[in-house]
Amino acid sequence: MAEKSDVVVIGAGVVGCSIAYYLAREGIKVALVERESIGSGSSAHATGFISLLGTEFTPGPSFQFGVESYNEFPQLVAELEEATGMDLLYQRRPSLRLALEESEEKLIKDMMSWQQEHVAMRWITAAEVNELEHRLPPDLRGADFEDESAQLDSYRLNLALAAGAEKKGCQTINRKATGLVSEGNRITGVRTDAGDIACDTVVISAGLWSPLFQKDLDFPVPVGALKGERVLLKYDGDPLQVLISSPKRGHMNSRLDGYLSVGSTGGRDYDQDQLYQGEDMDRVPTETARLEIMQRAIDVFPDLENAALVEQLAGSRPLSPDRHPIIGPVPGKDGVVLATGHTTKGIHLGPSTAKAVMEYIRGGCKRVPPSIDLFLPDRFAGMTQADFQTAGLNVDLSLIHISEPTRPRLISYAVFCLK
């Protein structure tokens, strides 16, 4: 006889574990199925930078979804730390979105034109930037100052979510999900390499591996790989008192464990030939990325010439064709929900995704929460191929302004075969 659960969540990254935690917290019987180990995919190498600045969100529902998730973190972190005894290295600080070039200044101010209606931020001059942090270059053009952003250790968050879910009754099952069990148009369970698990609802939050289930769904699940790399540095100087990002040069954050996190390459193209290699997780660090990241870091913070490299992390993010997450029921199928394709915002959007999925399931899967209308899978109905190369290059829209026009434009397509 097959095992039975109310809900089976496939994938134990931050998104999957957030969903399992929110469901278990409501008393719903959950099984969390993971083919490798907790947080072994995209979440393991994420920066943990939770900011509303930047180009990852668009005006309206996308941005509001990010705001909602940002506001979930203080209480969620407190709950998890109390329940598990883990320190998630969560910090909330002012942040700077730096412009070192004219194109960056234009992009940042364009984004501010609508973001500042919702978040406390303002443009400050180079002189004001240097009053906050005198070690930054005096010739930068200015910055968007945000009263507060946040940062934490994404891997610790992932482990705490899994542990917290288990404490509330979730069962973690280390098996490879190989397919879905169905009766007519209803999904009734998950097929694994060690037997089936029956359930009322399946949540597919398998990141890069989510397309493996599209044949059983007879519906496209367009998720591709966006490789990204970052480094951890040991810097003996005083830690930065602000969280720093830049459209062209990425982030630079002093973590609470004493390391400086710098990156990343994904979405800020340095070599188009190396952005997309294969369709699976690419965890292999490259020398090209390391040199590029370090040069960017020194551009922003010249004294990092004296820093020591501690660790270089590499991995691939689950990229959707329009860079928005894919969340909600699958057209033509009952008993299944997608929660994947969060691109570079999986950590940030984990709580709001989990909350929406929980509300949908708790309501008997009858009403889709308005917060995810923009992210519903039905927008990809009929899709047979997706251009992930263009999507990846547009993760940071600054590339519209700052890409070198002489570089060749390489297009990479993924074809979705459903039959």
Residues constituting the chain: 419
> In this structure, what DSSP letter does residue 381 have?
T
Question: What was the pLDDT predicted at 402?
Answer: 34
Residue 301, helix vs strand vs coil: coil
Question: What was the pLDDT predicted at 326?
Answer: 98
Residue 405, helix vs strand vs coil: coil
Question: What was the pLDDT predicted at 180?
Answer: 98
Q: For 133-151, how does the pLDDT look when each residue is reduced to its tens digit (9 = 90+)?
A: 999 999 999 999 999 999 9
Q: With the C-alpha atoms ordered 196, 197, 201, 202, is the resulting torsion angle positive or negative? A: negative
What residues does 174 pair with on adjacent strands? 34
Q: Are 188 and 199 in contact (CB under 8 A)?
A: yes
Average pLDDT for the chain: 89
> In this structure, what DSSP letter does residue 280 have?
S
Question: What was the pLDDT predicted at 409?
Answer: 28
Q: For 272-310, how does the pLDDT look when each residue is reduced to its tens digit (9 = 90+)?
A: 555 554 556 788 888 988 998 999 899 999 999 999 999
Cβ neighbors of 384 (< 8 A, separation 6 or more) are 220, 415, 416
> In this structure, what DSSP letter does residue 324 have?
S
Question: What was the pLDDT predicted at 217?
Answer: 97
Question: What was the pLDDT predicted at 283?
Answer: 85
- Give pLDDT < 70 ranges for the chain: 1-2, 266-280, 389-390, 392-419
Structural element, H or E, at residue 17? helix 14-25
Q: Which residue, among 48, 79, 46, has the nearest Cα to 255 in the 3D structure?
A: 48
Strands 121-124 and 142-151: antiparallel
pTM for this one? 0.91
Question: What was the pLDDT predicted at 274?
Answer: 53
Q: Are 62 and 324 in contact (CB under 8 A)?
A: yes
